Each structure stands twice: as structure tokens, then as C-alpha cells.
Amino acid sequence: MMRIGLFLLTNLAVIVVFSIVFGILSRFFGVGGVHSAGGINYASLAIMCGVYGMVGSMVSLFISKWMAKRSTGTAVIEAPSNATEQWLIDTVAKQARAVNIDMPEVGIFNNSQPNAFATGWNKNKALVAVSSGLLQSMTADEVEAVLAHEIGHVANGDMVTLALIQGVINAFVMFFARIIGNFVDRTVFKNEGDGPGIGYFVTSIVMDILLGFLASAIVMWFSRLREFRADEMGAKLASRDKMIRALDALRPAEQRPDQMPESMKAFAIASGQSTGFSIANLFRSHPTLDDRIAALRKYNPSEA
């Protein structure tokens, strides 16, 4: 049911670690000023959650490229060894110049399904990678459109925007998790002390995870939105016809289980077949190919 990428998983892990550390500092060393004899200081709690929430998402952002290379086994093209690699470098370079960004790293990862992704903490420090299956199954025009789509993600600053959205969501998740934790601690565990008890810490961590999962639906909504925007950039840089043909060429892969690592599904151009209860659509990282192609047919690059 979930389409939660490595960014979200890393972010959640950082938040849980921060929650534990802050809980220890607050309980035993009085650090933070969130708790007092009168209960929670909501202003202090909001500031703490805002700072820690943004830190979690920023850590995820800064290590995104390194983790992408590691999880997919992407081999960055340092010096082209054949005509295909040279063409990939030249095409990405041309597209990067067209949108006024620095040349991204270009790589290939071993995956039989046609796919590609872009990531990086800065649009001038990005990585664009394509699968071996994509190079084998698509025409040069279709690959050009896929590369343009990925350059669109980079030029639009999608990773940075994603990090900012995730940071705000983190803050709300941590804030409400601690309010719920305090309520459970006081009413269920009957803690009447000056500081938080075990019920507060356990409940807060559990709610960090549960609310974080539910809130990921917002992040996935943005992920679906950014796919439409990247498709439009693909139509601008390559052509609308090439972009539509590239998406259409992904249909066979969409009918099979996704072979991309779970950690990278949200960042890929295509997602595999989705099954299960309909609420799973809230957690899809990608719109359907039919929706994407329909949107492109209505899009006129010359008027954008």
C-alpha cells in the first residue's frame, strides 16, 4: 500500500532518534523547558518541534544522492566508455544548459525495467540516472524525453520543496504526538509529577511513527503533483510527442511488480502495478500513466 521513499524513511528515523534524545535530556537534565509543574509549555514545544522537524528533513535531503547511489547500485559515468554513455552525457548537458543549471552527475543502474530518477540536495549538485532496462527498451527519442523529465525535477527544485514540506509536517507530527503523549501520561498512567513519565515517552514515540505514516499522504500528494510538472518540462525540452511516447512505453512495466528498490520508488519516473484497498491511492507516489498522458495532451509547451 505504501509508496514511501528513502527520504521519508530516513526522515522518520531521524525524528524518532531526536525524540528519544530530547526525551532523555528533558527528563533527566531539564533541558528544553517544554515541561513544567503546570504541564506542557506549548510555545517552547512548538519551537522545539519546528527546529527538530526541519533538521530531520534537511538531513534526509543532504544524504539523498549518496543513499540513492548506494540503494540502486548506480554507476556514475566518469568518462564515457561507449557511444551510448557519450550520448547520455551530451543530452543531459544540453538540457541542463537549456534550464540554466549546472551539469548533473549522470549514471546507469542495473534494472531490467525501464526507469529513471533524479535526486540531490541542490539543483546544481544533482544526479540523473537511468536503468539498463530503459536504455534497452526505449528509442533514443523516448530516452531523451525521460532525461528531460528528470531534468525537470532538478530544475524545479523538487527535492528542496519536498524537504520543506516534510519539515513542516514533521513539526506538526512531533507537536501533536507530544500533546497526545502528555494526555495519556496524565489520564491513563495517572502521572501527577512535575515532569513527564514513561507513558509520555512511549506514547510520543508511537504517535511519531503513526502520525508520520498518515501525514506521508500529504507528501505523496506533492510527489504526484511534481510528476505532472516534470512531464511538462519533458515536453518543453524534448517535445510533447516524445514525452507522451516515453510514458506510453512505460505501460508494460506498470503491469508488473515494481523492481525499483523500495527506498527509491517515490523518486522514479515510473511505478509498478498497484494493488490493494483503494485508500492506497493516497500513498501513491505517481499518478497513473493514463492521467499523465491525458494531462500532456491538454498541455501546449509553446503557451507555457
Nearest one of 48, 21, 33, 44 to 194, comparing CA atoms: 33
Torsion angle in degrees (nearest 10) through CA of 167, 170, 172, 175: -130
Residue 6 has pLDDT above 80, yes or no: no
User: 119 forms bridges with which residues in the sheet?
Assistant: 127
Q: What are phi and psi of 75, to 5 degrees?
A: -100, 115
Specify burial of residue 196 (Cβ count, 10 A radius: 0-12, 13-18, 19+): buried
User: 127 forms bridges with which residues in the sheet?
Assistant: 105, 119
The residue type found at 182 is N
Pair 292, 231: CB distance under 8 Å: yes
CA 31 to chain centroid: 32
Residue 2, number of CB atoms within 10 A of its CB: 17
**Per residue in 186-208, pLDDT tens?**
899 888 776 788 898 889 888 98
For residue 100, give the C-alpha cell: 540554466
| Rounded distance between C-alpha atoms, residue 12 and residue 211, angstroms | 11
Q: Which of 83-87, 141-145, 261-265 has the lowest mean pLDDT?
A: 261-265
Most confident range (mean pLDDT) of 16-25, 263-272, 281-290 is 281-290
Mean pLDDT of 281-302: 88
Q: Which of 6-15, 89-98, 146-155 has the lowest mean pLDDT?
A: 6-15
CA 16 to chain centroid: 18
For residue 79, give the C-alpha cell: 568518462
pLDDT-derived band of residue 149, with 50, 70 and 90 as boundaries?
Answer: very high
Q: Which residue has the higher pLDDT, 257 or 88?
A: 88
pTM score, whole prediction = 0.80
Where are any strands of DSSP class E within 110-163? Answer: 116-119, 127-131
- Please provide the distance, in angstroms rounded to a whole number, between the alpha carbons at the two ends of the chain: 35
Pair 227, 237: CB distance under 8 Å: no
Q: Could you identify the residue written with the cell 517544554?
A: 34
Active centre residues (catalytic): 150
**Per residue in 32-82, pLDDT tens?**
567 766 678 888 888 888 887 888 788 888 988 998 999 899 999 999 999
Q: Which of 85-89, 158-162, 233-237 has the lowest mean pLDDT?
A: 158-162
Residue 236 has pLDDT above 80, yes or no: yes
Where are any strands of DSSP class E within 60-169? Answer: 75-76, 105-109, 116-119, 127-131
